[in-house]
Structure 1
Amino acid sequence: MSKKLAILDTMPSPGDFYRVYWNNQPFVVRGVISEEEMSGLITADELAGLSMEETPRSRMVKTAGELQDWKCRFGPFTEDDYETAGDRDWSLLIQNVEQFHPDTSALLRHFNFAPRWLLDDIMVSFSAKGGSVGPHIDSYHVFLTQGEGKRRWKIGREAIEEEVYIKGIDLKVLDQDFEGDEIELTCGDVLYVPPKFAHEGVTLESAMTFSVGFLGPKTSDLFSAYSQYLSEFEDLDQRYVGAGLDIDSSGFTMSESAVGDIRNIFDIQLRSDNFTQWLVEFFTESSHEDFGNYSEREEMLYDDEFEGELQEGASLIKPEYVKFAITTSSTGGFCLGFDSQSFTLDERLFPLIKMFMKEEVVNSKSYPDLFAEPAYLEFLLELYNHQALEFAE
């Protein structure tokens, strides 16, 4: 069913978001992010500097001939690339900016109502006047947050299931126009676009756009990743030996009972705590190949040092760019995933973890039971030494 772009006065409540808009209808909210907050995010000059480094995934898109001649180049770039780019009709896009510029991850606090465990990244773009990447669709949910400058967007009114792209170019640009609504965004405005809804942005004056994307995996990715997890544990990766086969499965015939037995192998695994534990690990893997290695910090702390810092009044906080995933365990308590690792925790720790998930400061005043049990500090030290927590300034 075709639905027009909704213009809202405030961000929807979590209930309304999932009931009305999630996967279903785009919306715009004016002035969600203050200019002061936007000023703390990455700047255009810093973004250009980041594009000259090897690790970030950057690309530059140029358009010409009434936006029909598309050219895409991948970084790293040089100062000469920007000197020759001209003053219009080009865009620079960099992914995973929250990892390279942690202050930009503060933007994520405004989207806690969304499933943060599905967060893919914050992609940031700078575009000169006329800059665009063309009409396209995405597989993910995206909150397009406007920084400096002004952009005009056209948003489709329904999902496109069978898209057709222009042939012979490096970008996935839709071959045909689409029915939709147009709107101009200025600093602090937020536009939500569900998956498969066509959209096109054109820069009216030099602009920064912060794209907060939430992306789910393909079914094949889930099966492949879980099978890899099982292969690492000999007791979980048992060979099928045909127990229970009878004469109905002789020769080249697979009996209904044989098919049922094999299906049951899948069912047992999918209903196990192993699956739950793997799931929170899977959804906290980084989308960037250079992150997500559960790496220890260079200057690790020991038990007495860590406790001493907290006893003297230090506070802990989870940086916004650190992704957690949490779910209940069938054996009691809950599973916490971080950076492709998992922890099975007592339910008494849930209030503490909840504070971290809200990016709240934790210390002996905000959480009086901080020193109640040694296991609490041991767990927090584990997270700190693996860069999931930091001492708050």
Structure 2
Amino acid sequence: MAPADFLRDYWQKRPLLIRNAFTDFVSPIEPEDLAGLACEEAALARIISHDRPRDAWHVRTGPFEEDEFPGMPHQDWTLLVQDVDKWDADIAALLEHFRFLPRWRIDDIMVSFAAPGGSVGAHVDQYDVFLLQAQGHRRWQIDASDSPPVDFRNDVELKLLREFNPTHDWLLGPGDMLYLPPGVPHHGVAEDACLTFSVGMRAPSAAELLGDFVDTLAAEADDRLRYRDPDLAPPADPAEIDVEAINRAVEALNMLRMNDPDRLGDWFGRFITLYRSAGEVMPSGPERSRIEIEWDLDQGARLVRHPWSRMAWRSSGREGRLFASGQVLPLPASDAACIANGTALDGEAYRALTQTGRDVVFDLYRAGHYVLDTDEGDGDLGG
């Protein structure tokens, strides 16, 4: 299917099951790798267990101890680890298949291992998700009706649906993928020991957008902009807040509106490259001089972007704006596009930048957004 057809007919409209989306798919990681990652201090991991006789659900958060996993039950539990694309370069490489979507819309790849019968219960997500079966088999049921019930149970710590009436039932094997738009109730149960990759989108709520927007307006507001009433007349009741007072309050708020498209664009770029960031970009290892960096690039080295560094760009007339984990960096649009799109910069790409672009890259390197990779075979991006 052409990406334009998918976006027109399915994106945020209706589910789509794609058989053999990845032909002859072989998982880049094994369950043992996922268990090892779940033991890392910085990893976001959970184990969800289901007690079927009592229909009770239990959630534990990591990090976990390595010796826990050999003693786990043979059924009815799931290990979930967020942001695996930030830890494993082979998992991150899967995102290249989703370039038909804005990169800044993609949040992470969550990987789950489920023992037979393992599940996280019937639930609903408020964001788009692609569910790629990596190993084993998982049965997915969805409710694609027009107005599905979405009330939650109040007896579990998970947001599980109180009522679930599936309209579709599919068994997915390795390479099969299910796309679900926001708001579609779904329930996945492992038929055998299996791995599932969930490519989830960033979808800030209106409340989150408004909260950050208002904070930005307030921080940048001129203190001289205030509630004013030069047209005040003697009130009929001095204790009453009349309609005119409310109108003046609205007028005061309207003075803070961000009518400048550039200011609005800069706010959104900063916001979306910070939104839902679970990790922090920090320099690691000894800092090298610019001369050393450029010499290494000429010898075949690459500047590899830190896995937690999120970048996007936009055009602003002849100039561009690069957004890097909440920063806004003015530079030529061609440079901004090159830097934002490249998970790694080799010598050729670096030399193609303007002097301003190269200055920005070096500043980003010093801030930890890049690490110097002198070995092309080294695919470990760290975490």
Which amino acid in structure 2 is aligned with residue 238 of structure 1?
D
Measure how far apart 1:358 and its partner are: 5.7
Show the counterpart of 1:379. Answer: 360
Check the 8 A contact 2:143/2:164 in 1, yes or no. no
The one of 256, 262, 271 aligned to 1:273:
262
Query: Counterpart of 2:223?
Result: 238
Q: Is the 8 A contact 1:138 1:196 kept in 2?
A: yes
Paired residue for 1:190, among 177, 194, 200?
177
* Residue 23 of structure 1 pairs with residue 7 of structure 2: no
* Correspondent of 2:33 among 27, 37, 46: 46
Deviations 1:77-123 (A, max 9, x none): 23453244211111111112222334321121111212321222221
C-alpha change, 1:367 and 1:51, in structure 2 (3 Å) is closer
Matched ranges for 1:1-393 at <5 A: 12-33=1-22, 35=24, 38-40=26-28, 42-65=29-52, 68-158=55-145, 160=147, 163-233=150-220, 236-243=221-228, 245-247=230-232, 252-255=241-244, 258-259=248-249, 261-267=251-257, 269-285=258-274, 287-289=276-278, 291-292=279-280, 294-318=281-305, 322-329=309-316, 332-350=318-336, 352-353=338-339, 357=341, 359=343, 362-364=346-348, 369-370=352-353, 373-391=354-372, 393=376
Relative to structure 1, the CA distance from residue 241 to residue 249 in structure 2 (aligned partners, 3 Å threshold; closer, same or farther) is farther
Paired AA for residue 43 in structure 2: P
Q: Number of residue pairs matched?
A: 369
Percent of aligned pairs with the same amino acid: 30
How far the C-alpha of 1:244 sits from its partner, in A, is 6.5
Change (3 A) 1:362 1:156: farther
Check the 8 A contact 1:164/1:174 in 2, yes or no.
Answer: yes
For 1:80 and 1:339, locate their aligned partners in 2 and report how far apart those are by CA, in whole Å. Answer: 37
Greater displacement, 78-87 / 52-61: 78-87
8 A Cα contact 1:318 1:357, kept in partner: no
SS at match of 1:197: coil
Contact 1:96-1:288 at 8 Å conserved across structures: no
CA contact (8 A) 1:52 1:78 kept: yes
Change (3 A) 1:195 1:26: same
The question of whether the paired residues in 2 share the 8 Å contact of 1:281 and 1:341 is answered with yes
8 Å CA contact 2:140, 2:188 repeated in 1: yes
What is residue 380 of structure 2 aligned with on the other side?
A: none
Give the superposition deviation at 1:347: 2.5
Deviates most, 142-151 or 375-384: 375-384
Q: CA-atom RMSD, angstroms?
A: 2.9
State the alpha-carbon separation in 1 of the partners of residues 87 and 344 from structure 2. 22
TM (norm. structure 1) is 0.83
1:124, 1:210 within 8 Å by CA — same for their partners in 2?
yes
Q: Which runs of 5+ in 1 are unaligned?
A: 1-11
What is the match of residue 8 of structure 1?
Answer: none
- Closer/same/farther in 2, CA of residues 69 and 302 from structure 1, 3 Å limit: same
* Corresponding residue SS for 1:81: helix
TM superposition score normalised by structure 2? 0.85
Q: Secondary structure at the match of 1:262?
A: helix
Cα distance, 1:154 vs structure 2: 0.9
Unaligned runs of 5+ in 2: 377-383
8 Å CA contact 1:245–1:258 kept in 2: the answer is: no
2: CA distance between counterparts of 1:167 and 1:297?
Answer: 45
| Closer, same or farther: CA 378–183 of 1 in aligned 2, 3 Å | same
Change (3 A) 1:59 1:360: closer
Match of 1:241, SS?
coil
Residues 386/39 of structure 1: CA separation in 2 closer, same or farther (3 Å cut): farther
Report the secondary structure of 2:142's partner residue. Answer: strand
SS at match of 1:124: strand
Q: Is the 8 A contact 1:226 1:278 kept in 2?
A: yes
